[in-house]
A and B are shown apart, each in its own frame.
Chain A
């Protein structure tokens, strides 16, 4: 109520006095915002352009010229010749498997910590949260030798296990807020009706969290899709490499073919861009939730 009146008052003042200055101010603000938007998008637009050109066009035409006769064959060429198809499929299934596992295991922990009564629950939660501060690089050498001893070097399981472990803290953090807010009445009713904890969790609570699960799953997928250092360290054969490392190796071999490089990069970022186009609200929400609460 108060703010409404104040708003009206301010609006009234604007209408009578500072209209011109106010408008100019807004033009300036929008100019700043649009300039930042252009800076953020410009490199990607340029990438799209040169992914559709051949070397002759890249070297001889102005860099910002539109690809007048787009060379879509750049995409077809790298897809099959550069092993990019194999890397792409690996990225998809490893991302999906790790994400599914993280979200389910994270939900179980969050449920046990927020809903069940037991002594060390806050210590256990603390262990998960502190893990967020540990730089992955400090674990890299021991993980390499542990996986080596377990026969998991050059095996996709080494990636899935590390992805699940390192994404667990942020997953639990995003889930926590939602679980704290869930009404307890549902659980009480279920238990009075003689429902077991397992049944209650999987049939009632887990489905109730579907919206936050979607958010955490998308965040996990983005992280897993983009992960580089573990693949680069643990995986040596082309059959198991994911796109990040695959792209890196491929480009290393074809440093001079700009169109091919552009097409490879576009293929590696397109899934993310398309996901963002449809699910931007969830992604924004997930990134905000996973960052500030720490």
Chain B
């Protein structure tokens, strides 16, 4: 048995195709992106090694830090919206008859492509014929704004479809976690006279904490690298007001053909995502030890 199951040839045959592919498509490129960042390169011609120039320029680049700030704001919004999702999931997990149907309906936007969602919301936000402003006008709002053209509004306007798109996903995860909590705990607490709010706060929340931590990482890191929807809806505009790190990288590389600088941004994005993951894990781990000690 052991001999057959440790046949090196078979193992290599089974593992290598996928392993080589992931090395070539994921791992080698992230090393290369760091290296390209050390060069001046238009993507076609010869590379010129310029050391840390791109990275130094990046640190001083206000447009980049502006885009990083917008990404961070999106991450904050996403983090806060988790509270909303968790509340809906708590309602859903409290002996609701059609809970399964509800969570399926909630999930639908998450299954659609970001491009379709972006195009749909472009129409929703359309200044004159969009459903949003039509509704606002019918409620008597005189001059509803052109949502995506206002630098002060555009980020919030972009965040609404993101909230809409991911709601079902997080509600689904939270619902599953809450349903995993043994009903006997809740009932014992009820007998002891705890009300619904106390049960939610003192029993359900701590027991769902593991899952909540995972979702915070997913939401924050997901927002830091958010791209598709913003690229389609505003392409970073108006005037850079909705530029995020990934969209800035994309336009530097594939519009300005500055592959070296674009790579440097891509490498920063990678480092920022990894650091964010690490920080959140660290923060939530300490919380955890306090909780169970």
Contacts and interface: CB of A to CB of B under 8 A. Distances in A.
Interface in B151-193: 164, 167-169, 172-173, 176-177, 182-184, 187-188, 190-191
Contacts of A118: 6, 8, 11
User: For the complex, would chain B's binding face be called helix, strand, loop or mixed by DSSP majority?
Assistant: helix
Given A43-B124, A265-B116, A109 B18 contact: yes
A229 B228 contact: yes
Contact of B108 (A29, A233, A273): A273
Q: Determine the interface band of chain B, counting residues with CB < 8 A from chain A.
A: 35 or more
B6 A36 contact: no
Interface stretch (A70-78, A163-171, A208-216): A163-171
Contacts of A112: 10-11, 14-15
Interface stretch (B29-37, B75-83, B140-148, B283-291): B29-37
Given A40-B105, A105-B21, A137-B225, A268 B116 contact: yes
Interface in A179-222: 187-188, 191-192, 196-198, 201, 222
A68 interface: no
Interface string A74-107: 0000000000000000000000000000000110
Given A135-B270, A261-B123, A33 B102 contact: yes
B214 A294 contact: yes
Contact of A166 (B4, B26, B43, B124): B26
A133 to B, nearest CB: 6
Contact of B262 (A109, A128, A141, A284): A141
Given A105-B18, A258-B123, A135 B25 contact: no
A284 B172 contact: yes
A122 interface: no
A166 to B, nearest CB: 7
Interface in A242-294: 243-245, 247-248, 251, 258, 261-262, 265, 268-269, 272-273, 276, 280, 283-284, 287-288, 291-292, 294
Given A105-B17, A135-B273, A168-B22, A142 B169 contact: no
B103 interface: yes
Contact of B96 (A33, A142, A165, A273): A33
A165 B36 contact: no
B114 interface: yes
Q: Determine the interface band of chain A, counting residues with CB < 8 A from chain B.
A: 35 or more
A213 to B, nearest CB: 15
B122 to A, nearest CB: 9
B120 interface: yes
A292 B214 contact: yes
Contacts of A135: 221, 224-225, 246, 269-270, 273
Contacts of B269: 135, 137-138
A44 B10 contact: no
B106 A137 contact: no
Given A168-B21, A265-B120, A109 B15 contact: yes
Nearest to A91: B113
A143 B14 CA distance: 25
Among A112, A187, A227, A262, max chain B CB count under 10 A is at A112
Contacts of A284: 103-104, 107, 172
A20 interface: no
Contact of A30 (B4, B32, B96): B96
A142 to B, nearest CB: 4
Contact of B4 (A128, A134, A197): A197
Nearest to A13: B190
A197 B246 CA distance: 45
Contacts of A243: 113
A201 B14 CA distance: 10
A192 B266 CA distance: 53
B253 A225 contact: no
B21 A41 contact: no
A210 B36 CA distance: 43
A288 B177 CA distance: 10
Interface string A29-42: 11011001101110
B211 interface: yes
Contact of A33 (B88, B169, B188): B88
Contact of B105 (A41, A164, A187, A225): A41
6 interchain residue pairs of minimum CB distance: A226-B113, A165-B25, A6-B187, A142-B29, A142-B32, A139-B29
Given A36-B106, A58-B129, 10 more contacts: A37-B106, A41-B105, A62-B134, A63-B134, A63-B135, A135-B246, A226-B112, A226-B114, A244-B113, A272-B112
24 contacts: A2-B184, A33-B102, A40-B105, A43-B109, A44-B108, A44-B120, A116-B11, A124-B19, A135-B269, A137-B225, A137-B246, A137-B249, A138-B29, A140-B250, A142-B263, A145-B36, A188-B1, A227-B113, A229-B250, A276-B107, A280-B104, A291-B173, A292-B173, A292-B176
Interface of A: 2-3, 6-7, 9-10, 29-30, 32-33, 36-37, 39-41, 43-44, 46-47, 50, 58-59, 62-64, 105-106, 108-109, 111-113, 115-118, 124, 127-128, 131, 133-146, 161-162, 164-166, 168-169, 187-188, 191-192, 196-198, 201, 222, 225-229, 233, 243-245, 247-248, 251, 258, 261-262, 265, 268-269, 272-273, 276, 280, 283-284, 287-288, 291-292, 294
